[in-house]
Amino acid sequence: MNRVKLGELLRIKHGYAFKSENYVEKSKYALVTLANISNSNDFQYDKDKTTYYGADFPDEFKLSTDDLIMPLTEQVIGLFGNSAFVPCVEDVQFVLNQRVGKVIPIEEKADKYYLHYLLATDSVREQLEHRASGTRQRNISPNDVYDVTVFVPDLHTQKAIGKTLYDLEMKINCNKLINDNLQQQLCIIYENMMCKAQYGNIEGTFTVASKLTDVVTGKEDANFASPNGKYKFFTCSNDTLNCDEYVFDSSAILIAGNGDFNVKHYSGKFNAYQRTYVLIPDHQYYGLLYFASLYQINSFKSASSGSIVKFITKGDIENIPVFIPNDEHILNELNRLLALQEKNQAENEELSSLRDWLLPMLMNGQASISD
């Protein structure tokens, strides 16, 4: 391992100051901003939240697929050290906006994929945090990045480490895309069924959630979470935490009783926060009740938009309307696709754990990759 400054390994290109008067509703040019770089070290893209540009600008600020970018302003706490690869999106040309830097490896000195993980190490993050300036939003300059001290192996080893970690990342992302596609299929099946039910074009029975399952809540407070716990701990947050003890062991629908009222599904051993509702129906109704809950809660949120709704009551959950089709194929297909989602999610958790274990070991030289 060689002790060097990041300035010996990379250059950073500043983004362009695009003029807001040239922002348009739709264009092929999409601005890459700080919002595109997540605290999970990847690229976040939502076409409906993207800023598009409709005027001329220098070609040098056009980005290519797999370009590496990093934030130069800490829009959210902990953002420094994160970086992301620019994705390939059909009919979209991403462009480099100000306060985002393009990371350019110095040829024969550094591997781009290795740099992505090097920037995320605790040592680099701590040094960037120390060099940041500003009060409301802290900033770093390319020179601040160049002055960071790191220990790196030779280029051949960098490439091997970068490829190993990147391949893991791509498999995780692939599973996420598959799950997104599965979710779309599930929504189509459920919406098609409900459309037919509305017009009497399918046989079945209308009922409510309380007829299919008891509605209970967890018993724990937020302090019950344990970062290295073996079991899932569902709170009202979108993020799922861990804990050391489980109470439930089944396929369940989890509904946040406050916050953003998110709806999740999970099969296995878990525990729950005291404001999280837990629904455990017979397995044949698992997928059906999940989607009935998801659509009803989303409808509830839309109807209450603009007003202050602090929580959902047990009665609200018990009275979720559910249509049970006589056609068991629909129930089976909902359950089958939901099971595939959970299988992919479980695999991603294992891959993420492997990546998180490998990352520091490979970066500090405690583990190596053979040819």
> pLDDT (tens digit, 9 = 90+) per residue, 270-285?
999 999 999 999 999 9
Average pLDDT, the chain: 93
Across the strands, what pairs with 281?
none
DSSP 99-151: TEEEEEEPTTT--HHHHHHHTTSHHHHHHHHHH-B-SSS-B--HHHHHT-EEE
- How many other C-beta atoms lie within 10 A of the C-beta of residue 20? 8
At 94 the three-state DSSP class reads strand
pLDDT of residue 365: 83
Q: Which residues of the chain have pLDDT under 70?
A: 303-309, 371
Give SS3 for 361: helix
pLDDT at res. 305: 56
Residue 343 has what pLDDT?
A: 97
- Could you tell me the pTM of the whole model? 0.82
Could you give the domains of the chain? 2-152 (3.90.220.20), 173-352 (3.90.220.20)
First to last CA, the chain: 18
Q: What is the per-residue pLDDT for 75? A: 85
Backbone region of residue 41 per phi and psi (left: phi > 0; alpha: psi in -120 to 50; beta: other values): left
293: which residues sit within 8 A by CB, 6+ positions away?
209, 253, 255, 263, 279, 317, 320
Percent of the chain with pLDDT over 70: 98
- H-run or E-run covering 31: strand 29-32
CA distance linking residue 279 with residue 254, whole number of Å: 7
Type of residue numbered 305: S
The confidence score (pLDDT) of residue 311 equals 85
Task: Give residue 137's pLDDT.
Answer: 86
Question: Residue 101: which of 123, 71, 143 has the closest Cα?
Answer: 71
pLDDT of residue 83: 95
Whole-number pLDDT of residue 309: 64
- Per-residue model confidence (pLDDT) at position 364: 85
Task: Kindly give the interhelix angle for 286-303 and 155-198, rounded to the nearest 10 degrees.
Answer: 80
